[in-house]
Amino acid sequence: MNILVTGGAGFIGSHLVERLLVDGHHVSIIDNLSTGRLENIESFKDNPKFRYVIGTVLNRDLMDKLISKADQVYHLAAAVGVKYIIENPLLSLKTNIVGTDTVLELANKNKAKVLITSSSEIYGKSEKVPFSEQDDRLLGSTHISRWGYSCSKAIDEFLALAFFREKKLPVVIVRCFNTVGPRQTGQYGMVLPKFIKAALLDQPIVIFGNGKQSRCFADVSDVVEAFINLMNAPNCEGEIFNVGTQESISIEDLALKVKAMCKSKSRIEYMRYEDAYEEGFEDMMNRMPDLSKIREYIGYEPKFSLDDIIQRMIEYYEI
């Protein structure tokens, strides 16, 4: 099969490409390297079944050429990371909304099946935990940049579902919850790689807020396998799925766990959200996915525990 992965030099994208190549597919990627890195594809860039293009999903002519040769499109290209989104609000909105619209239009033209990656940010600051795919959304003011990201992902979902309903385009939508693993960088605000890198260097581990907020961290290998299984199951077309784990931990306890597993001498420090991001920044206290739907449709069960994930990442960053 010929497969296109947008954002294929990114953290999740590169792991997805690696798995698709192992499965024997011909894989092309497009990435503008805003958050992706060429080193992420170094181990397989010489594979004869792999091709990479440096470019943007906003380049319609280029995307038309790439999608015309694809049977499936995994659309991962997007603005990622709270820090990046707050610092680049306009580009983030355009990339997420216009980029997704371009992918869907051209996929419909060329009859290619599409997977759209959405986000747990969709749920906003709702306190109904765990979050189910049919739940209402609760968002803050438009003056706060992070909610623009949530809205852009919602528009992506509306677009995908409209193409499915009106044009019969086969689409699958996934909402990812804190995907982590080797190759992830803390440069754009991802908490676990930031903690691990600081701990390995005996530098302060900095917690934003009071540390009582809780998250569930899923290994990228589990997430990638879910993507592929969802794309290969016809009954998943036109549906939205949470992808993640339900092993919850507070950010404060995560810092303590990382420090212990790294045998680190790091101090744990706290920083106000306003000092880390922007005035008026809002966060969610708890974020956990309801996984009953994805279990029902494809039998999804995460294989990696949080301790497994942290150990894998420690070994990766120690090299």
Tracing tokens 């990479």 back to the chain, one arrives at 52
* Dist CA 70 CA 107 (whole Å): 9
Query: Which is the catalytic residue, given 52, 74, 149, 188?
Result: 149
Strands 248-250 and 214-216: antiparallel
Q: Which structure tokens are listed for 265?
A: 């001498």
Contact 106, 63 (CB under 8 A): yes
* Dist CA 310 CA 75 (whole Å): 27
- Give the count of alpha carbons within 13 A of 32, CB side only: 16
**Is residue 149 annotated as a catalytic residue, yes or no?**
yes
What DSSP designation does 68 have?
A: T
Q: Which structure tokens are listed for 276?
A: 């880390």
Backbone angles phi, psi at 32, to 5 degrees: -90, 0
* Dist CA 80 CA 178 (whole Å): 11
Single out the residue of 177, 176, 171, 138 nearest to residue 157, CA to CA: 171
List 303's β-bridge partners, or say none: none
Burial 95-118 (b: 16+ CB within 10 A, else e): bbbebbbbbbbbbbeeebbbbbbb
Contact 45, 22 (CB under 8 A): no
Q: Annotated active-site positions, please?
A: 149
